[in-house]
Structure 1
Amino acid sequence: MKLYYAETLAPRKTCAVAEYLDMPIDYVFVDLRKGEQSTPAYLALNPNGKVPTLVDGDKSIWEADAIICYLAQRAESALWPRTAQQQIEVFRWFSWNNQHFYRYGGALYFEHLVKPWVGLGGPDPAKVAEAQGFFRKHAGVLNQHLKGRKWLLGDDLSVADFAVGVALPYAKSAAMPLEEFPEVQRWHDQLNAFDAWRNPFPARQDQVAVNA
């Protein structure tokens, strides 16, 4: 298998799951600043010109949430739950995250980290304020859900935890008010206990990441 990635949010979850599962993967770094995601060779793998992309034999799989499910299933890992009801719960959290929590955590990540990284200047105060407001709203939903639960689906870690938590390693540097939500903080602290979560990206000689 080959995993094409950059050191940004969506690829982070795929690299973290692959590392957690100790998958036999060849990592291929895609330099976004050089436009490598737009080359004909890469577009043949992923017509969206986005990262990540997983190639397994003759299969090319794109979209990070699909990739982490594929990896967990291929490894026969409990990260992909066995029951239909729990699988529905995974997709519920994927959908909620993409429409709400990740959307606004990602907006803060973009304003504070991506913009200066690509030379677009500093954060826009109005956009930051708007994203923080929505982040608080949705973090409140997550905080309430996590009361009495160790992980999103209950007692067992799943791909949903890797997906929903992906922006939180950058909370401090991206001005996400994570400290206001003790259950979310507790849950993320549990993820931080995994080396695969703290250090998901493979080492490179030219380390140029968008990180804290």
Structure 2
Amino acid sequence: MKLYFSETINPRKACAVARHLNVPVEFVRVDLAQGEQHAPAFLAINPNGKVPVLHDGDLVLWEANAIMCHLSNVAGADLWPKDPRAQVEVQRWLSWDASHFTAHGGTLYFENLIKPAIGMGAPDAAAVEGATRMFAASAAVLDAHLASRKFLLGDALTVADFAVGAALPYAKGAYIPLADFPAVVRWHERLNELPAWRAPFGAAE
């Protein structure tokens, strides 16, 4: 089994789950700066030209959320719950996150960290202002939900936590506003107790 990754937000989710569950995968780094994601050999496994990608026998999976669920199944774990109602709850948070929380946090990550790092110039002030405002609105929803819960589904850690928290390790450098959301901060501190969350790409992270 091979997991193609780069040290960015979406691969972070899949790598963290793989390490957390000790799934026997070979981690294959794709150098985005060198354009390896556009090489014909890579496009043959993911025509979107993006990471992560999981190659498991005759199964090729794109998309970090799907990869996390598959890795949980492979490990016989409950990060992707077996109970149908819990599965629906996880799917709700994955969908919400993709449209709101990490969507806006990811914009701040891109504008404040990635653009300067790859020579794309200064952050777009309008994009940063809009993403900051929308992130705060989403964070308020999440903060209220987490006020009486340890994890998104209560006491059980699931792939939803790995997905929704994906941008938060970059909060300081990306200027992701967390100060007004203590329940979100406490929840992320719990995730930081997991070695795989702190170092999803290995010891060199």
* Fold shared per TM-score above 0.5: yes
Q: Which runs of 5+ in 1 are unaligned?
A: 208-212
In structure 1, give the amino acid aligned to 2:151.
Answer: W
**CA distance in structure 2 between the partners assigned to 1:202 and 1:163 by the alignment:** 19
SS of residue in 2 equivalent to 1:66? helix
Query: Who is 2:37 aligned against?
Result: 37
Query: Who is 1:73 aligned against?
Result: 73
**CA distance in structure 1 between the partners assigned to 2:62 and 2:202 by the alignment:** 19
**Deviations along 1:3-27, whole A, 9 cap, x unmatched?**
0001000000000000100111101
Give the Å deviation of 1:122: 2.1
In structure 1, give the amino acid aligned to 2:7.
Answer: E
SS of residue in 2 equivalent to 1:156? coil
The farther-off stretch of 119-128 and 91-100 is: 119-128
In structure 2, give the amino acid aligned to 1:162.
Answer: F
In structure 1, give the amino acid aligned to 2:187.
Answer: W
CA contact (8 A) 1:105 1:176 kept: yes
Query: Who is 1:202 aligned against?
Result: 202
Normalised to the residue count of structure 2, the TM-score between the two structures is 0.97
Q: How many residues are treated as equivalent by the alignment?
A: 205
**CA distance in structure 2 between the partners assigned to 1:79 and 1:94 by the alignment:** 13
CA contact (8 A) 1:27 1:202 kept: no
Query: Who is 1:177 aligned against?
Result: 177
Query: Who is 1:148 aligned against?
Result: 148
Normalised to the residue count of structure 1, the TM-score between the two structures is 0.94
Give the Å deviation of 1:203: 5.0
**CA distance in structure 2 between the partners assigned to 1:122 and 1:16 by the alignment:** 30
**CA distance in structure 1 between the partners assigned to 2:175 and 2:108 by the alignment:** 7
The farther-off stretch of 89-98 and 116-125 is: 116-125
**Deviations along 1:31-56, whole A, 9 cap, x unmatched?**
11111001111111111110000000
Give the Å deviation of 1:134: 0.2
**Deviations along 1:153-188, whole A, 9 cap, x unmatched?**
011000100000000001111101112100000000
Give the Å deviation of 1:128: 1.0
The farther-off stretch of 123-132 and 38-47 is: 123-132
Query: Who is 1:102 aligned against?
Result: 102
In structure 2, give the amino acid aligned to 1:99.
Answer: S
In structure 2, give the amino acid aligned to 1:189.
Answer: E
**CA distance in structure 2 between the partners assigned to 1:94 and 1:20 by the alignment:** 19
Query: Who is 1:93 aligned against?
Result: 93
Query: Who is 1:210 aligned against?
Result: none
Q: Which runs of 5+ in 2 are unaligned?
A: none
Query: Who is 1:52 aligned against?
Result: 52
Give the Å deviation of 1:123: 1.5
- 1:7-18 maps to which residues of 2 (within 5 A)? 7-18=7-18
The farther-off stretch of 121-130 and 74-83 is: 121-130
What is the aligned-residue identity percentage?
A: 57
